[in-house]
């Protein structure tokens, strides 16, 4: 690409880098969550939400478990102001939920912000001003001390106005907007100036929000910036360090995770990362990443399909099918090797009666987010393999295919999908399997077979069969004996005018584990004199007749190739 040389790093690493956070390997507890879907997320929409939509979305965010929700910028928009007043006047804010409002460091805006909050029980007032070198030089054309004065004057005004409303429990928050493009010692100084004015206590802590307003660095740099600030803020024990990562570099989640390791206490973000430009940090992914490590995220995404549905309804945006945790296809495995590993992992877990989740290729149990194995996990197309197809046939229909048979069935399904250029549903898979293998009685059909033991054999397996067989419309009633039921049938077939060329290779059987039936399934593979092998499957309430049906099915499949019965 041309013009790469006009870019350079725009961030400022901390003057001292200790990177103690790198010694940690995972987040050990959930942060304080603050949803900014109704403010930051709403600003990002081509058509912002209506008042009624915002009210419904607010109630849904409460349902998900958010205890802090930024509802807007009430001094900047009449809709935002009316929305906040509806929440207060209609008593729609639960006692355990705190509303957050945003304000610039300007007197008339701060005044209107407090007026919008009259009657509320508790609220977070979020003050911000931009601090980056680029903003100071290009937008404000101001020196550092002038920028600090903007923040300090706003902090004093907020403290003054809050005192006028003693019935409201206020908490204060300050953001050095464009923190990632700010020199770290200056970010430290301006935050400390605000902290000193607000005088936090253990009972009323101050929130210092350190936003990646524009993501400018690799995540470890952001983490080091957070660590530096945490070590250099005044009254750190009474300060909640909040993170507000944006996703310009596609690292919003990584920035948040490493920032939490580096000392962050709180996250401001949105469902599925909605926000201006490339969006905010994705709270769903961030929370579910913690969940996958055995940490309670303190948010309820157990009905992920509903979360997706509601998000798309309110924002008119679509969740990408590969979006982590929420996408329609995130648990879907089309690859044969993946399917095989998942199927074996599921069987292993069931056999071992494990509580812990260790299934290959699935970082979490889909059922924990309201997804189903049926149709959500193993999906069949031309890329699929024997393991996945066998898994579906067993899971949905009770057929536990012998290992030697799975490859043949797998290739058949792949070919069907390839020719039709589409994914195969469970029903389509079973129908193709049934039509090709199960109780296939044309042109050979053994319509009756009665067995009894005989003593002419040295073992106890000697059998005699009285059998009626229809071959190409001709019916034969035959009696024959053998060293087992299938051998007796084989000898009976030899008494017909047709040349049956086969030997039995393998036989297995099991009960069909389906709720609607007590049937048995039998699987037989036969081999002709040239080495060709043919599988057949038989089902019947009687396991003996199921094995007969399996043999007949195999013979008819052989006849499709060798055509010994015209």
Each residue's pLDDT tens digit, 287-335:
999 999 999 999 999 999 999 999 999 999 999 999 999 999 898 877 7
List all residues 6 or more positions away from 74 whose beta carbon is below 8 Å from its beta carbon: 80, 81, 83, 84, 101, 112, 113, 116, 117
CA–CA distance from 21 to each of 72, 180, 211, 259 (Å)?
33, 18, 19, 9
In 3D space, the residue among 210, 175, 192 whose CA is nearest the CA of residue 102 turns out to be 175
Res. 517 pLDDT band, cuts 50 70 90:
low
> Which pLDDT score is estimated for 67?
98
Query: 93 versus 387: which is more confidently predicted?
Result: 93
320 annotated to a ligand binding site: no
- pLDDT tens digits, residue range 474-489? 999 999 999 999 999 9
Beta strand extents in 189-262 (DSSP E only):
206-212, 239-245
The continuous run of DSSP H or E covering 176 comes out as strand 169-177
> Which pLDDT score is estimated for 343?
82
> Which pLDDT score is estimated for 16?
81
234 annotated to a ligand binding site: no
Res. 338 pLDDT band, cuts 50 70 90:
confident
In 3D space, the residue among 33, 41, 34 whose CA is nearest the CA of residue 275 turns out to be 41
Helical pair 386-397 and 336-352, crossing angle rounded to 10 deg: 40
Exposure string for 201-233, b = 16+ CB within 10 A, e = fewer = eeeebbbbbbbbbbbbbebbbbbbbbbbbbebb
Res. 364 pLDDT band, cuts 50 70 90:
very high
> Which pLDDT score is estimated for 137?
95
Asked if omega into 443 is within 30° of 0 (cis), the reply is yes
246 annotated to a ligand binding site: yes
- pLDDT tens digits, residue range 397-455? 999 999 999 999 989 998 998 888 888 888 999 999 999 999 999 999 999 999 999 86
- pTM for the full model? 0.81
Q: Are 69 and 268 in contact (CB under 8 A)?
A: no
244 annotated to a ligand binding site: yes
DSSP per position, 129-154: EE--HHHIIIII---HHHHHHHHHHH
């Amino acid at each position: 690409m041309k013009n790469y040389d006009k870019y350079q790093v725009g961030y400022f690493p901390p003057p001292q880098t200790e990177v103690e956070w790198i010694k940690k390997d995972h987040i050990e507890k959930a942060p304080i969550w603050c949803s900014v879907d109704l403010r930051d997320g709403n600003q990002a929409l081509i058509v912002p939400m209506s008042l009624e939509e915002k009210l419904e979305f607010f109630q849904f965010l409460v349902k998900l478990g958010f205890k802090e929700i930024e509802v807007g910028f009430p001094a900047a928009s009449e809709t935002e102001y009316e929305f906040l007043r509806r929440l207060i006047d209609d008593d729609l804010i639960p006692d355990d939920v705190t509303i957050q409002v945003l304000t610039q460091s300007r007197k008339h805006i701060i005044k209107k912000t407090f007026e919008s909050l009259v009657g509320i029980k508790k609220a977070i007032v979020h003050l911000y001003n931009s601090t980056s070198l680029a903003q100071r030089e290009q937008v404000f054309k101001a020196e550092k001390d002038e920028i600090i004065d903007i923040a300090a004057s706003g902090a004093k005004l907020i403290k003054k106005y809050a005192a006028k409303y003693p019935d409201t429990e206020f908490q204060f928050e300050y953001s050095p907007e464009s923190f990632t493009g700010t020199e770290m010692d200056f970010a430290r100084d301006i935050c400390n100036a605000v902290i000193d004015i607000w005088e936090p206590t253990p009972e009323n802590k101050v929130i210092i929000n350190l936003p990646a307003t524009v993501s400018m660095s690799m995540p470890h740099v952001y983490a080091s910036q957070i660590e530096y600030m945490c070590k250099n803020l005044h009254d750190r024990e009474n300060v909640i360090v909040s993170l507000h990562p944006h996703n310009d570099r596609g690292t919003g989640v990584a920035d948040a995770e490493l920032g939490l390791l580096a000392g962050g206490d709180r996250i401001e973000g949105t469902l599925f990362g909605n926000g201006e430009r490339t969006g905010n940090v994705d709270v769903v992914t961030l929370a579910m990443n913690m969940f996958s490590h055995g940490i309670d995220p303190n948010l309820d995404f157990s009905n992920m399909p509903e979360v997706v549905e509601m998000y798309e309804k309110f924002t008119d945006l679509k969740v990408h099918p590969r979006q982590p945790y929420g996408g329609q296809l995130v648990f879907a495995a089309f690859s044969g090797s993946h399917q095989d590993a998942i199927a074996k992992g599921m069987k292993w877990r069931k056999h071992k009666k494990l509580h812990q989740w260790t299934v290959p290729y699935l970082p979490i149990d889909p059922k924990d987010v309201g997804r189903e194995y049926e149709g959500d996990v193993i999906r069949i197309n031309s890329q699929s393999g024997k393991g996945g197809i066998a898994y579906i046939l067993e899971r949905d229909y009770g057929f536990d295919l012998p290992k030697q048979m799975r490859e043949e069935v797998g290739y058949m399904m792949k070919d069907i999908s390839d020719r039709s250029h589409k994914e195969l549903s469970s029903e389509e898979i079973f129908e193709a399997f049934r039509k090709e293998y199960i109780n296939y009685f044309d042109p050979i059909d053994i319509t009756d077979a009665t067995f009894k033991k005989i003593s002419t054999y040295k073992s106890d397996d000697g059998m005699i069969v009285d059998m009626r067989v229809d071959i190409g419309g001709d019916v034969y009633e035959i009696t024959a004996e053998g060293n087992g039921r299938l051998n007796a049938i084989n000898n009976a077939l030899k008494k017909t005018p047709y040349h049956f060329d086969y030997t039995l290779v393998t036989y297995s059987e099991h009960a069909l584990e389906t709720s609607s039936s007590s049937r048995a399934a039998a699987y037989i593979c036969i081999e002709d004199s040239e080495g060709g092998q043919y599988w057949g499957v038989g089902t019947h309430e009687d396991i003996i007749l199921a094995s007969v049906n399996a043999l007949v099915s195999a013979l008819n499949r052989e006849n499709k190739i060798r055509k010994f019965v015209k």
